[in-house]
Amino acid sequence: MRIFELDNVCGIKSPVVTMGAFDGVHRGHAMLLARLREKAAELGGESVVVTFRPHPKLVLGKFSSTISLLTSNEEKLFLLREAGIDNTVILDFNDELMQMEACDFIEKILSGRLGMKHLVVGFDHRFGRGGSGDFSEISECSERLGFGVERVGSLKTDRGVVSSTGIRDALSAGDLAGANEMLGYSYFLRGTIVAGRKLGRSIGFPTANVSPDFPHKLLPGVGVYAVSVRFNGDQYQGMANIGYRPTFNEISALKSVEVHIFNFDQQIYGQSVQLSFHHRLRDEMKFPSAEALRQQLIIDRNDAERVLKGM
């Protein structure tokens, strides 16, 4: 997949375009992207995703410091590459872009700069100043500017329409199974190993403290999870605790991410890891003693190993 900034776009053959924030690149997005690739093949062209940096929520949000997202820009690009997209164009989401009317955006950027031949949009896609650009307006622009346009329907599951908002809500509530079903893959985060208090080591369960690389990364709800850990090109199994370590802390203001990697005894401070969350084992609990916690961790490890067997 080729990645362009708007100023250096070049050499895209008969661009077939879709656009959006694509937070999470979930199953609904995957359906849209599959149609994008299919239409590009029909027209003898190339698929193009136009997306934004930073996520528009971080620009439009009144309290952007509290906004949480499913993917960083780098994670989103990784998932788009995995989806088989030919080209991604990254636009800086700024005041100028935010104030553009929908047809001006299409004429100046999608048609003028990219040379778009066909546009594929989602079922509820709106863009342009104040979100005024709906499918009816896009269709009017297509007739005037001479490009094709089509709309892809929604993807519905037993949990409703698949959406980034729905996935964020599920993760925050600790519904990892529901979130992963809508994502189409196990939710993951990338981070750096940082020094901790080494409390886990004192009870025979050493943990690595993970600081997420993306400050707006949504952490799954508080609890204990069966995870896989990718480090230095290798994959390990483990269990992670997301929460406040109540057994050791009467009051903790910051949510932590700690992972116990099975059959692993290396010093990896400062190293990058990726955690993939496969199953939620239980709620975080306050235990009467460190020994009671240790006994529960033995049960958790057995449960995690059973869940992860064969993965």
List, for residues 155-205, the tens digit of each pLDDT value. 998 888 999 999 999 999 999 999 999 999 999 999 999 987 666 677 888
Domains assigned to the chain: 2-160 (3.40.50.620), 186-308 (2.40.30.30)
Cα separation, 239 vs 280, whole angstroms:
10
Q: Is the pLDDT of residue 252 over 70?
A: no
Cα separation, 170 vs 157, whole angstroms:
14
pLDDT (tens digit per residue) in 54-69: 999 898 876 677 899 9
pLDDT, the chain, mean: 92
Report whether the peptide linkage leading into residue 54 is cis, meaning its omega lies within 30 degrees of zero: yes
Cα separation, 102 vs 107, whole angstroms:
9
pLDDT at 251: 55
pLDDT (tens digit per residue) in 221-250: 999 999 999 999 999 999 999 998 777 765
Cα separation, 173 vs 7, whole angstroms:
41
Cα separation, 201 vs 205, whole angstroms:
5
Interhelix angle 164-172/176-183, nearest 10 degrees: 160
Looking at per-residue pLDDT, the higher value among 214 and 130 belongs to 214
Q: Sort strands 87-92 and 208-212 into parallel, antiparallel or unpaired.
A: unpaired
Cα separation, 197 vs 201, whole angstroms:
9
Cα separation, 31 vs 20, whole angstroms:
14
Q: Quick one: average pLDDT of 294-304?
A: 96
Provide the token pair at 33: 């992207």
Tokens 């059973």 -> residue = 306
Cα separation, 184 vs 297, whole angstroms:
29
pLDDT at 36: 98
Provide the token pair at 5: 């900034």
